[in-house]
């Protein structure tokens, strides 16, 4: 049975390897591999793989063992005990020699010259683990002293600043991808020149065929006036660009071609065209859109009596958030 052990291991590891490859092929989710330092992933993977393989091999071995006759089991057990005794023989012997311990017959060689009421002391070596750890601390101290006290490599303040600077870089990196996390609920009107320029480029590339370069309209409606078929304001415009217009009208859903950040940029650019005068403006279509969140301009104050003040607000906004109803 002992000679079978390597074979069992190979079979066990093959099974685990096959299962792992299958799993890796089906999930396609590599995010954990991207976030961890490679060395940890490799180390963790090898360890997991090893443990799983050993468990699998042990299970196979147990299966085979159960199928043995009683007599064969006995013979196997005896061999196993012998093998255990010989296991790590080299390491055990080495450790013993490092310990420098002597057999009882030779103890007189290392006995000290003291005798405390019959209690004697052996001049044994220190345990190797203790001795070499101690040497290691001395080495560490020397290197530390030279590096930080003589050459002043860096101090805590510098270490802190370096960490903060690194974090700043990572935040900037994150922000670049975070832009693509915008959706209908979180989108805001962008006003940076770089965003509007990017929006203009996207508009020129994708939209002018139907909306004209100045937004005056053609196949698609005029984008510069106060009237909106599908609702004005950044959220509605973003939604129209992302999800498309009414069926059959020709405005496709751009979310398959444009990233969320790009749709936010082109939506902001479209809104920046508002109030401009295109060369050949298409007649207004849809309703005049008022922003429900805009500050209310007109408020009438009516004094009812000297103590009570009543505020009447005209043109109270009727529509709420995103227009969803007028797709027909």
**Binding site residues, ligand HEC, CB under 6 A:** 203, 206-207, 209-211, 219-221, 223, 228-230, 237, 240-241, 245-246, 249-251, 254, 266, 270, 286
Q: Which is nearer to ligand HEC, 12 or 220 (CB)?
A: 220
Residue 231: CB minimum distance to ligand HEC, A: 6
Q: Which is nearer to ligand HEC, 254 or 261 (CB)?
A: 254
Q: Which is nearer to ligand HEC, 53 or 211 (CB)?
A: 211
Residue 239: CB minimum distance to ligand HEC, A: 9
Residue 148: CB minimum distance to ligand HEC, A: 59
Residue 206: CB minimum distance to ligand HEC, A: 4
Residue 319: CB minimum distance to ligand HEC, A: 14
Residue 241: CB minimum distance to ligand HEC, A: 5
Q: Which is nearer to ligand HEC, 8 or 270 (CB)?
A: 270
Q: 244's torsion region: left (phi>0), alpha (psi -120 to 50) or beta? A: left
Residue 290: CB minimum distance to ligand HEC, A: 14
Q: Which is nearer to ligand HEC, 107 or 226 (CB)?
A: 226
| Per-residue 3-state assignment (H helix, E strand, C coil) for the chain | CHHHHHHHHHHHHHHHHHHHHHHHHHHCCCHHHHHCCHHHHHHHHHHHHHHHHHHHHHHHHHHHHHCCCHHHHHHHHHHHHHHHHHCCHHHHHHHHHHHCCCCHHHHHHHECCCCECCECCECCCCCHHHHHHHHHHHHHHHHHHHHHHHCCCCCHHHHHHHHHHHHHHHHHHHHHHHHHHCCCCCCCCCCCHHHHHHHHHHHHHHCHHHHCCCCCCCCCCCCCCCEECCCCHHHHHHHHHHHCCCCCCCCCCHHHCCCHHHHHHHHHHHHHCCCCCCCCCCCCCCEECCCCCCCCCCEEEEECCCCCEEEEECCCCCCCCCCCCCCC
Q: Which is nearer to ligand HEC, 28 or 320 (CB)?
A: 320
Q: Which residue is nearest to ligand HEC (CB)?
A: 245
Q: Which is nearer to ligand HEC, 128 or 286 (CB)?
A: 286
């Amino acid at each position: 049975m002992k000679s079978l052990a390597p074979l069992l291991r190979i079979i066990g590891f093959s099974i685990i390897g096959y299962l792992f490859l299958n799993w890796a092929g089906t999930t396609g989710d590599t995010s954990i591999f991207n976030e961890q330092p490679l060395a940890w992933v490799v180390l963790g993977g090898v360890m997991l793989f090893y443990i799983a393989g050993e468990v699998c091999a042990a299970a196979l071995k147990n299966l085979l063992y159960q199928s043995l006759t009683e007599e064969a089991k006995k013979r196997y057990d005896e061999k196993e005990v012998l093998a255990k005794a010989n296991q790590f023989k080299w390491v055990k012997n080495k450790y013993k020699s490092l310990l420098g311990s002597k057999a009882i017959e030779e103890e007189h060689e290392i006995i000290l010259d003291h005798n405390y009421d019959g209690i004697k002391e052996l001049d044994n070596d220190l345990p190797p683990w203790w001795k070499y750890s101690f040497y290691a601390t001395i080495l560490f101290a020397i290197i530390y002293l030279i590096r930080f006290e003589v050459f002043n490599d860096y101090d805590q303040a510098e270490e802190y600043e370096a960490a903060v600077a690194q974090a700043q870089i990572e935040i900037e990196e994150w922000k670049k991808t975070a832009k693509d996390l915008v959706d209908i609920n979180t989108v805001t009107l962008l006003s940076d020149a770089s965003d509007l320029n990017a929006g203009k480029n996207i508009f020129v590339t994708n939209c002018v065929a139907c909306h004209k370069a100045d937004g005056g309209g053609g196949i698609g409606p005029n984008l510069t006036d106060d009237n909106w078929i599908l609702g004005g304001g950044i959220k509605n415009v973003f939604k129209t660009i992302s999800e498309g217009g009414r069926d059959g009208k020709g405005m496709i859903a751009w979310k398959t071609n444009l990233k969320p950040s790009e749709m936010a940029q082109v939506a902001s650019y479209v809104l920046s065209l508002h109030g401009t005068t295109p060369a050949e403006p298409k007649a207004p279509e849809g309703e005049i859109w008022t922003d429900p969140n805009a500050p209310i301009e007109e408020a009438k104050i009516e004094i009812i009596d000297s103590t009570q003040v009543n505020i009447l607000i005209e043109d109270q906004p009727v529509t709420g958030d995103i227009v969803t109803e007028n797709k027909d």
